[in-house]
């Protein structure tokens, strides 16, 4: 129907080419390589923040590009990020009550 | 528009199924969040049996993580082929994705057996229980994904598919990527941060 | 009234069956039991939810009466200690998960599509699946009574007390797995209703033109969407501990017993709003109609509902003040809890101001709504006394808590539901409930309720513990505050309450026998669900309404007089209906019935049954689920065009936008 074709053209306009996807995959692979290297190379105090930042970057890249959230309707983002933000907030508070972060 | 005459018309022009899938994934965030938090709370609590750092095989897990990550690429290529109505390529990439997924699950089975031999059973310690629960849940999600991919390959061969073909592929794609991003988090929090 | 009885020009086209698996023909009956069992019609499912919930309400009520019989006199002999534990556990579980939640789901299913001017929900088959999963889950939970004893750990089932050591029967296994199934039902229901509200509204119905009931249901579905997975995790941990030897709650292995409490209450507090907000929605519909005024401060009611839904995520640890959380956590959660009282207070003020200066019409529905305002406020005030942590440490685990939550649950959620019964009965069944019996129903319930739960405040403050299976004369004390007297009053009250509920059931029977049909618009109502026949046709509306106002139906009937600025009736409901029938849409293809929802749902209890007894049975259940899932996937939700017998050749316009769910 009109509805779905509209959806599709929208995607073709803003979506990515296959080459684009491969580029994203290469970046993801590179970050993964960096992550794994922390196991062999001593990153010192940067170890934890670096790992967490790389994790978040990979996460956001897959969500935004492979899952198209960046190009799609805002309602999708709302549904997903509402769950994600709630999960992070609630479970962080939960772990905090166990004094998890000040061990 | 006669759309509104339909039981299924949508007032925003967005697909119901896709909205539903995103709502489901939002909900899944709280499921995996709970499992991950339980693991984080308990990972260091070892009263018997091995500690995490004693048994994790980082090179091995890195490879299987990489395999899963790349399956996201092949999945997105399948979706893109489906949008171009290229049935042959769609089938090809779906199959490759399923194979990569199966490799990952196979790796997990191998890993579990190895850990078990090294003395980490489900009941050995809090670490054991929460580790197997978290990664097992993820593994079941991947397995369900593989079943869906294989079924899809089978169904796509039939002439009539209920619903829009491309949309079905896209939905399974969303699920598959989600399973992948959960592993991105597990890989860092469980494996790379030592206890 | 002839208008309504004339057959509508647009009967949905008859369907000839297509097949799944090349051989299984899809069901088509429009009458008889098949038309119910395989239905995907949101209205039929709404009624089925309601009937199921009512059935469990009676079971939960009988359990409550047994509890009160046991406690009526010292050294009660009705139940032994073990049975008593099972009784209060199953009473609460039944009331919460199998009565209030499904009843709200029933109202939501029936009225949300009607209120937003839709012809069905977004995923009709998923909707049917949710109902069957709930029913089978509920039956599964109660099977434990016959298989070695029901769950006995209290409705929040604190671990490690619910572990195999302290609760060796299979009761807790049935409980955990049964709730898991009910949880799947709630989750699918939540996704379905959220997408319905986001995506299926009639043209012109912006979010801020949606009726309040629909708004509150939407907030509830979001709460469920995000809270159900949390209890899912907790239940899995518990099941794994009990059935597969996991150590999660094993203190000897270093486990933290608070883990369960946190997970349960992260779910549990949003859950209490899941229980109360639908009733808030119902009375927000009823009060304006019977006050002959629009709802006072509609946006405030909407936003306070959303605010409750949001802040409700940050207060869970107020259930754990006595567990040694530490001063910082206690202080933080005490403050957030007091904060959440504010949006709740806003609602009460709005309702009061809605009635203020209105022409009040004291129907039974209105009486129940007013009853809710008063009794919920009583419960809310005792709730504020628990928010103060030091005072809560005195009250926790006493009958004072039991008094509090029954005022909010019975005085709030249940009275709201009864208000909804009387208000919407003519819409659903085409007949009016008897108002005189309704009055008896209301007064007996309110008197019984206060007699039962009022004295529990005293009992609690005098120190009677909750979940205590006997009390003795020797410790009952003397004087005005003696436990013996107030326990007896509470028990008498519970029977008055039961008679009140019986009045409702009698009323239903009498109404069913009464041949008199309800008028089209008996209450002179305001929202879209009244802009169709009683009961609505299968496709709900002959013409999908185009919405211009909040309370659009009212604005179609009334217009403001430019001189006097009063509302004057310009059209009657009958005239609006007649016009709709004249312009009725052609070619309405409703989603078609299906076998798969019930088959898929049936596989779930088979799997869980096998988890307790023999894994082989689980495999069979798994095969059923897989079989049904394929059948489901291979069948489109609306039968294809070629299946419809159309008089005029299909124009191609009436294909369905999305057809798999
Ligand atoms: C028919 C009217 C009812 C009566 C007479 C009644 C009576 C009782 C009594 C005496 C208890 C305390 C048992 C104990 O601590 O030893 C109890 C517990 C409870 N009731 Fe009710 N109740 C009624 C209706 C309801 C309703 C409608 C709901 C919820 C919607 C409800 C929810 C609960 C809960 C959550 C508990 C706590 C159980 C536990 O401690 O785990 N009750 N009820
Ligand atoms: Cu609470």
Paired with C568 in beta bridges are C559
Identify whether A80 is part of a domain: yes
C-chain CB neighbours of A90 within 8 Å are: 266, 313
Per-residue pLDDT, averaged over C436-457, amounts to 98
B-chain CB neighbours of C591 within 8 Å are: 7-8
Would you call A39 and B177 a contact, using CB atoms and an 8 Å cutoff? no
**Over 70: is that where the pLDDT of C12 sits?**
no
User: Does C19 touch chain B if contact means CB atoms closer than 8 Å?
Assistant: no
Q: What was the pLDDT predicted at A16?
A: 84
C-chain CB neighbours of B125 within 8 Å are: 247, 253-254
Dihedral angle computed from the Cα positions of residues B17, B21, B22 and B23, in that order, rounded to the nearest 10 degrees: 100
Going from the N-terminus, what domains does chain B have, and what CATH number goes with each?
Answer: 10-192 (1.20.120.80)
- Subunits that touch chain C (at least 3 Cβ pairs < 8 angstroms)? A, B
Q: What was the pLDDT predicted at B159?
A: 57
**Over 80: is that where the pLDDT of C487 sits?**
yes
- Following DSSP, what letter does each residue of C338-384 receive, concatenated? HHHHHHHHHHHHHHHHHHTTS-----HHHHHHHHHHHHHHHHHHHHH
Q: How far is the CA of C408 from the centre of ligand 2 (A)?
A: 12
Same domain, residue pair A53 and A90 = no
Atom of ligand 1 nearest to the CA of C57: 27
Atom of ligand 1 nearest to the CA of C89: 41
Would you call B185 and A55 a contact, using CB atoms and an 8 Å cutoff? yes
**CA gap C660, C636 in Å, rounded:** 6
Ligand 1 contacts CB of residue C319 (under 6 A): no
Band (pLDDT 50/70/90 cuts) for residue B80 is very high
Same domain, residue pair A55 and A79 = no
Of the residues C315, C329, C589, the best mutation for testing chain A's interface (the one with the most A CB atoms within 10 Å of its CB) is C329
Burial class for C35, CB neighbours closer than 10 Å (0-12, 13-18, 19+): middle
Identify whether A84 is part of a domain: yes
pLDDT in tens, C98-125: 999 999 999 999 999 999 999 999 999 9
Average pLDDT along chain C: 91
**Over 70: is that where the pLDDT of C652 sits?**
no
Dihedral angle computed from the Cα positions of residues C9, C10, C15 and C20, in that order, rounded to the nearest 10 degrees: -170
- Classified as helix, coil or strand, C560 is strand
Tell how far CA C181 is from the center of its chain: 16
Same domain, residue pair A80 and A58 = no
Same domain, residue pair A24 and A43 = yes
**CA gap C619, C608 in Å, rounded:** 10
Ligand 2 (ion): which residues have CB within 5 A? C 269
Q: What is the CA radius of gyration of chain C?
A: 25
Same domain, residue pair A54 and A78 = no
Copy the structure tokens of residue B41.
């709370």
CA nearest neighbour of C593 among C195, C21, C124, C43: C124
Q: Are strands C567-569 and C558-560 parallel, antiparallel or unpaired?
A: antiparallel
Quote the domain boundaries for residue A49. Answer: 16-68
Helix, strand, coil share of chain B (percent; to 5):
80, 0, 20
Ligand 1 contacts CB of residue C175 (under 6 A): no
Q: What is the largest CA-CA distance in chain C?
A: 85
Ligand 1 contacts CB of residue C504 (under 6 A): no
- Model ipTM value: 0.94
Residue nearest to atom 6 of ligand 1 (CA): C64
Same domain, residue pair A52 and A20 = yes
Closest CA in chain C for residue A93: C314
Ligand 1 contacts CB of residue C91 (under 6 A): yes
CA nearest neighbour of C213 among C292, C150, C285: C285
Residue of B8, B35, B129 lying closest to C656 (CB–CB): B8
Copy the structure tokens of residue B192.
């790379």
A-chain CB neighbours of B173 within 8 Å are: 66-67
Identify whether A7 is part of a domain: no
Closest CA in chain A for residue B181: A59
Indicate left, alpha or beta for B194 from its phi (over 0: left) and psi (-120 to 50: alpha): beta
Are C594 and C128 in contact, with CB atoms under 8 Å apart? Answer: yes
Would you call A75 and C655 a contact, using CB atoms and an 8 Å cutoff? no
Identify whether A1 is part of a domain: no
Residue of C226, C325, C655 lying closest to A97 (CB–CB): C325
Q: What was the pLDDT predicted at C1?
A: 30
**CA gap B126, B123 in Å, rounded:** 8
- According to DSSP, residue C480 is labeled T
**Over 90: is that where the pLDDT of B99 sits?**
yes
Please give the span between the terminal C-alpha atoms of chain B, in angstroms, as a whole number.
61
Same domain, residue pair A38 and A78 = no
Distances (CA, A) of B190 to B56, B135, B177, C157, C247: 10, 9, 19, 29, 19
Q: How far is the CA of C304 from the centre of ligand 1 (A)?
A: 28
Interface of B with C in 125-164 (CB under 8 A): 125-126, 128-130, 133, 151, 155, 162-164
Residue nearest to atom 3 of ligand 1 (CA): C64
Band (pLDDT 50/70/90 cuts) for residue C556 is very high
Residue nearest to atom 23 of ligand 1 (CA): C64
Q: What is the CA radius of gyration of chain A?
A: 18
Per-residue pLDDT, averaged over A12-41, amounts to 89
C-chain CB neighbours of A4 within 8 Å are: 657-658
Distances (CA, A) of C591 to C412, C542, C595: 36, 16, 13
Ligand 1 contacts CB of residue C162 (under 6 A): no
Q: What was the pLDDT predicted at C656?
A: 38
Residue A31 to chain B, least CA–CA distance (Å): 11
Per-residue pLDDT, averaged over C519-544, amounts to 94
Band (pLDDT 50/70/90 cuts) for residue C651 is very low
Between B13 and C100, residue with greater pLDDT: C100
Of the residues B36, B44, B192, the best mutation for testing chain A's interface (the one with the most A CB atoms within 10 Å of its CB) is B192
A-chain CB neighbours of C326 within 8 Å are: 97, 99
**Over 70: is that where the pLDDT of C94 sits?**
yes
CA nearest neighbour of B175 among B104, B98, B111: B98
Number of H helices, E strands in chain A: 4, 0
Would you call C199 and B17 a contact, using CB atoms and an 8 Å cutoff? no
Atom of ligand 1 nearest to the CA of C87: 13
Q: What was the pLDDT predicted at C17?
A: 63
Closest CA in chain A for residue B10: A3
Q: What was the pLDDT predicted at B195?
A: 83
Q: What was the pLDDT predicted at C22?
A: 64
Burial class for C322, CB neighbours closer than 10 Å (0-12, 13-18, 19+): middle
Band (pLDDT 50/70/90 cuts) for residue B3 is very low
Q: What was the pLDDT predicted at B67?
A: 97
Per-residue pLDDT, averaged over C86-95, amounts to 98
Q: What was the pLDDT predicted at C23?
A: 62
Are C111 and C174 in contact, with CB atoms under 8 Å apart? Answer: no
Distances (CA, A) of C488 to C451, C482, C559, C622: 10, 11, 57, 51
Same domain, residue pair A34 and A52 = yes
Same domain, residue pair A100 and A64 = no
Identify whether A4 is part of a domain: no
Band (pLDDT 50/70/90 cuts) for residue C16 is low
- According to DSSP, residue C318 is labeled G
Q: Which residues contact C524 (CB under 8 A, 6 or more apart)?
A: C289, C292, C557
Residue nearest to atom 40 of ligand 1 (CA): C154
C-chain CB neighbours of B20 within 8 Å are: 122-123, 191-192, 195, 661
Would you call A90 and C266 a contact, using CB atoms and an 8 Å cutoff? yes
Identify whether A29 is part of a domain: yes
**CA gap C549, C105 in Å, rounded:** 26
Q: How far is the CA of C265 from the centre of ligand 1 (A)?
A: 18
Binding-site residues on chain A for chain C (CB distance < 8 A): 1, 3-4, 75, 79, 82-83, 86-87, 89-90, 93-94, 97-99
C-chain CB neighbours of A86 within 8 Å are: 226, 313
pLDDT in tens, C306-338: 999 999 999 999 999 999 899 999 999 999 999
**CA gap C514, C522 in Å, rounded:** 17
Residue C641 to chain A, least CA–CA distance (Å): 14
* Max mean pLDDT range (C444-448, C471-475, C478-482): C444-448
> Across the B/C interface, how many CB contacts are shorter than 8 Å?
173
pLDDT exceeding 70 applies to what percent of chain C? 93
Tally of domains in chain A: 2
Identify whether A39 is part of a domain: yes
Per-residue pLDDT, averaged over C634-657, amounts to 50
pLDDT in tens, B149-158: 999 998 887 7
**Over 90: is that where the pLDDT of C404 sits?**
yes
Q: Are strands C567-569 and C19-20 parallel, antiparallel or unpaired?
A: unpaired
Would you call C633 and B3 a contact, using CB atoms and an 8 Å cutoff? no
Same domain, residue pair A63 and A78 = no
Closest CA in chain C for residue A4: C657
C-chain CB neighbours of A102 within 8 Å are: none
Identify whether A10 is part of a domain: no
- What class is the C276-518 domain? mainly alpha
Atom of ligand 1 nearest to the CA of C449: 2
Three-point CA angle A64, A65, A67, nearest 5°: 75
Are B187 and B135 in contact, with CB atoms under 8 Å apart? Answer: no
Per-residue pLDDT, averaged over A4-19, amounts to 57
Q: What are phi and psi of C558, to 5 degrees?
A: -120, 145
Give the dihedral sign, CA B112/B114/B120/B126.
negative
Residue nearest to atom 1 of ligand 1 (CA): C61
Interface of C with B in 614-633 (CB under 8 A): 630, 633
Residue of A25, A80, A94 lying closest to B70 (CB–CB): A25
Band (pLDDT 50/70/90 cuts) for residue B10 is low
**Over 60: is that where the pLDDT of C8 sits?**
no
Copy the structure tokens of residue C643.
């299946």
Domain extents in chain C: 276-518
Ligand 1 contacts CB of residue C414 (under 6 A): yes
Same domain, residue pair A94 and A58 = no
Band (pLDDT 50/70/90 cuts) for residue C416 is very high
pLDDT in tens, B126-143: 999 999 999 999 999 999
Ligand 1 contacts CB of residue C531 (under 6 A): no
| Cβ count near C286 (within 10 Å) | 28
Copy the structure tokens of residue B110.
């191998």
Q: What was the pLDDT predicted at B95?
A: 97
pLDDT in tens, A58-86: 999 999 999 999 999 999 999 999 999 99
């Amino acid at each position: 129907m009109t509805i779905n074709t509209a959806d599709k053209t929208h995607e073709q306009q803003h979506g990515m080419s296959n080459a684009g996807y491969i580029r994203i995959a290469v970046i993801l692979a590179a970050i993964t390589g960096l992550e794994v290297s922390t196991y062999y190379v001593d990153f010192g105090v940067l170890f934890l923040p670096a790992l967490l930042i790389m994790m978040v970057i990979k996460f956001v890249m897959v969500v935004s590009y492979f899952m198209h959230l960046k190009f799609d309707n805002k309602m999708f983002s709302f549904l997903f990020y509402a769950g994600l933000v709630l999960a992070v907030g609630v479970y962080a508070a939960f772990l905090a009550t166990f004094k998890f972060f000040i061990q | 528009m006669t759309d509104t005459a339909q039981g299924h018309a949508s007032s925003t022009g967005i697909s119901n199924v896709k909205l539903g899938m995103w709502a489901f994934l939002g909900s899944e965030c709280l499921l995996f969040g709970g499992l991950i938090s339980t693991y984080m709370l308990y990972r260091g609590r070892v009263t018997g049996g091995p500690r995490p750092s004693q048994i994790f095989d980082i090179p091995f897990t890195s490879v299987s993580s990489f395999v899963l990550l790349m399956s996201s690429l092949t999945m997105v290529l399948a979706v893109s082929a489906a949008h171009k109505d290229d049935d042959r390529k769609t089938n090809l990439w779906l199959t490759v994705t399923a194979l990569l997924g199966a490799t990952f699950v196979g790796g997990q089975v191998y890993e579990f057996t190895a850990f078990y031999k090294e003395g980490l059973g489900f009941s050995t310690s809090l670490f054991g229980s929460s580790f197997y629960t978290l990664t097992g849940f993820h593994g079941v999600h991947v397995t369900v994904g593989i079943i869906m991919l294989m079924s899809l390959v089978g169904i796509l061969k039939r002439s009539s598919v209920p619903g829009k073909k491309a949309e079905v592929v896209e939905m399974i794609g969303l699920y598959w990527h989600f399973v992948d991003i959960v592993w991105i988090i597990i890989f860092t929090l469980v494996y790379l941060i030592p206890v | 009234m002839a208008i309504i009885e004339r057959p509508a020009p647009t009967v949905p086209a008859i369907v000839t069956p297509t097949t799944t698996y090349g051989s299984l023909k899809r069901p088509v009956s429009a009458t008889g039991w098949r038309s119910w069992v395989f239905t995907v019609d949101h209205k039929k499912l709404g009624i089925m939810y309601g009937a199921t919930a009512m059935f469990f309400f009676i079971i939960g009520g009988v359990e409550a009466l047994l509890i009160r019989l046991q406690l009526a006199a010292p050294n009660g002999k009705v139940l032994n200690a073990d049975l008593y534990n099972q009784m209060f556990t199953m009473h609460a579980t039944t009331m919460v998960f199998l009565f209030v939640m499904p009843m709200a789901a029933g109202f939501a299913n029936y009225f949300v599509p009607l209120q937003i001017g839709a012809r069905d929900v977004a995923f009709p088959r998923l909707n049917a699946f949710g109902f069957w999963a709930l029913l089978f889950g509920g039956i599964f939970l109660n099977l434990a009574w016959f298989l070695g004893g029901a769950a006995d750990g209290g409705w929040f089932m604190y671990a490690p007390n619910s572990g195999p050591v302290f609760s060796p029967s299979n009761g807790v296994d049935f409980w955990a797995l049964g709730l898991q199934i009910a949880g799947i039902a709630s989750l699918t229901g939540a996704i379905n209703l959220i997408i319905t509200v986001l995506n299926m509204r009639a043209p012109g119905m912006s979010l801020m033109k949606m009726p309040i009931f629909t708004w509150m249901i939407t907030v509830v579905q979001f709460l469920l969407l995000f809270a159900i997975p949390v209890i899912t995790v907790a239940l899995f941990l518990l099941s794994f501990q009990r059935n597969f030897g996991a150590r999660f709650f094993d203190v000897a292995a270093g486990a933290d017993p608070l883990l369960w409490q946190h997970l349960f209450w992260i779910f549990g507090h949003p859950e209490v709003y899941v229980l109360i907000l639908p009733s808030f929605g119902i009375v927000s519909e009823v009060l304006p109609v019977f006050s002959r005024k629009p709802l006072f401060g509609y946006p405030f009611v909407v936003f306070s509902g959303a605010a409750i839904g949001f802040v409700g995520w940050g207060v869970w640890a107020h259930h754990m003040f006595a567990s040694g959380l530490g001063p910082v956590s206690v202080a933080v959660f005490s403050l957030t809890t007091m904060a959440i009282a504010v949006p709740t207070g806003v609602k009460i003020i709005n309702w009061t101001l809605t009635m203020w200066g209105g022409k009040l019409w004291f129907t039974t529905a209105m009486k129940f709504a007013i009853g809710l305002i008063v009794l919920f406020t009583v419960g809310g005030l005792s709730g504020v006394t628990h928010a103060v942590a030091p005072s809560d440490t005195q009250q926790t685990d006493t009958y004072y808590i039991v008094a509090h939550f029954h005022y909010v649950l019975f005085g709030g959620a249940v009275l709201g539901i009864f208000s909804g019964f009387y208000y919407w009965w003519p819409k659903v069944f085409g007949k009016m409930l008897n108002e005189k019996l309704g009055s008896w129903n209301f007064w007996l319930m309110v008197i019984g309720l206060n007699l039962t739960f009022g004295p529990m405040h005293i009992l609690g403050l005098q120190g009677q513990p909750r979940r205590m299976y006997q009390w003795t004369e020797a410790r009952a004390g003397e004087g005005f505050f003696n436990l013996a007297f107030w326990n007896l009053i509470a028990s008498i009250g519970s029977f008055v309450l039961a008679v009140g509920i019986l009045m409702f059931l009698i009323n239903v029977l009498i109404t069913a026998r009464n041949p008199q049909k309800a008028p089209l618009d008996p209450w002179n109502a305001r929202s879209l669900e009244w802009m169709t026949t009683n009961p609505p046709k299968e496709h709900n509306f002959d013409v999908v309404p185009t919405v211009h106002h909040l309370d659009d139906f009212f604005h179609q009937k009334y217009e403001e007089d430019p001189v006097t600025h009063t509302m004057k009736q310009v059209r009657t409901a009958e005239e609006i209906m007649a016009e709709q029938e004249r312009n009725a849409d052609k070619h309405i293809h409703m989603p078609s019935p299906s076998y798969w929802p019930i088959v898929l749902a049936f596989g779930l209890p088979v799997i869980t049954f096998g988890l307790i007894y023999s894994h082989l049975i689980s495999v069979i259940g798994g095969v059923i689920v897989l079989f049904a899932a394929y059948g489901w996937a291979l069948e489109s939700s609306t039968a294809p065009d070629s299946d419809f017998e159309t008089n005029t050749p299909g124009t191609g316009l009436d294909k369905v936008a999305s057809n798999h769910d």
